[in-house]
Amino acid sequence: MRDAYLVGAAQTDFGSFPDESYRSLFRTAFEAARDSVPAGIDPDDVDEAFVGTLGVGGRQLGLSGPAVTEHVGLDGIPCTRVENACAASGYAVRQAVQAVKSGMADVVLAGGVEIMTDASSDATKYWLGVSGETEWERLSGTTFAGVYAQMADAHMAEYGTTGEHLSRVAVKNHANGAKNPHAQLGFECSLEDALNAPVVADPLTLYHCCPTTDGAACALVVSEDAVEEYTDDPIRIAGVGAASDRVGLFQRESYTSVPASREAAERAYEMAGVAPEDIDFAEVHDCFSIAELLAYEDLGFCEPGEAGDFVESGATELDGDLPVNTSGGLKSKGHPIGATGAGQLVEAYKQLSGAAGDRQVEGATRGLTHNVGGSGGAAVVHVLEREQGVEA
């Protein structure tokens, strides 16, 4: 199979944009992604597109995949809409990599878009709820926050994790998001802010939960046969892993791990020929603070039960041994469901290109992105590395 490379990636601002449509948001992200390619790229070069979206808001009605690609001038190319809950565009990137590796395409667009803020709070709860198990969880009254609260409660009971550990995730990610001009909640918060915020679903407070968001993100994936046309400093998508699991939390053997994340990571590491200790930075799926703590363990960054101590040690801060969510993560940057996975690739591209500004991880040559669907029913992991091994 051929190697696949990331030659450009960009996103819109994340936030609330009542004057934008899903088409206009996607166009902004696509045009910025084109501009990020060192040698430029012509829309006529694009062979195929994969677009992730859940279709939450009323402004997203219609055949959204072809609608956005037609709107940005990609007339006639095959376009597939990918829906895998919150992992939609992470899987869109995976599909792009597969298209390139298989030889069916040389240049593929992978993106995502979501408009969430035009829906009522009840409608938003519905869409988030049906991203998990519908019949026995959502329809019986369990909210999305409630499912993750059960995970947090179980982790606390089994391993002694505390509310302060959850809050340290929020403080770190807000500190990073304050340095990201695209972040929805681009402000810092204190440990006291996070600990003492109103409870959403005990033990999760408001600062332990990501916002609802409008936004779009795009990544351009090319083959080894075409990469030299676009850049002389390539970023290789060295490993890709994906997995699924039982959708309902109550169906799983443990509430303190996301098996799909663990399996996806193992597959990505194996394909890339690396281990967790080889990763310089990571963008992980922190829809709730407990999700980031679980990711530390499931991705092999620390042993089961050690996530609380790991975040408390400062290892995952911007100047730590393994910076996590340098973009601000879902918690601060925002979580436009369909765009989140592709948005993680945007941050990885910036870090590996040395273009992350005040968030730049010194010497970064290899990064990881981790995107989860629902409460763990699906997960996808990408490992990316600078081909030349030149420090950013």
Query: Domains of the chain: which residue ranges?
Result: 4-119+212-235, 121-210+238-334+343-386
Please confirm, yes or no, whether 335 is among the known catalytic residues: yes
pLDDT at 392: 44
pLDDT at 391: 45
pLDDT at 389: 47
Of 165, 208, 335, 370, catalytic: 335
Q: Which residue type does 38 have?
A: P
Of 79, 86, 189, 302, catalytic: 86
Q: How far apart are CA 310 and CA 303, in angstroms?
A: 9
Cβ contacts of 284 within 8 Å, gap of 6 or more: 291, 292, 295, 296, 299, 324, 325, 329, 368, 369, 370
Contact 176, 283 (CB under 8 A): no
User: With a threshold of 0.85, does the pTM exceed it?
Assistant: yes
pLDDT at 64: 84
Q: How far apart are CA 378 and CA 85, in angstroms?
A: 8
Q: Tokens 């994969």 — which residue?
A: 50
pLDDT at 390: 41
The ranges of the chain with pLDDT < 50 are 389-392
Q: What's domain 4-119+212-235's architecture?
A: 3-Layer(aba) Sandwich (3.40)
Please confirm, yes or no, whether 86 is among the known catalytic residues: yes
pLDDT at 288: 98
pLDDT at 121: 81
CATH number attached to the domain at 121-210+238-334+343-386:
3.40.47.10
In angstroms, the Cα distances linking 349 to 5, 27, 243, 319 are 11, 19, 24, 19
Q: How far apart are CA 44 and CA 35, in angstroms?
A: 15
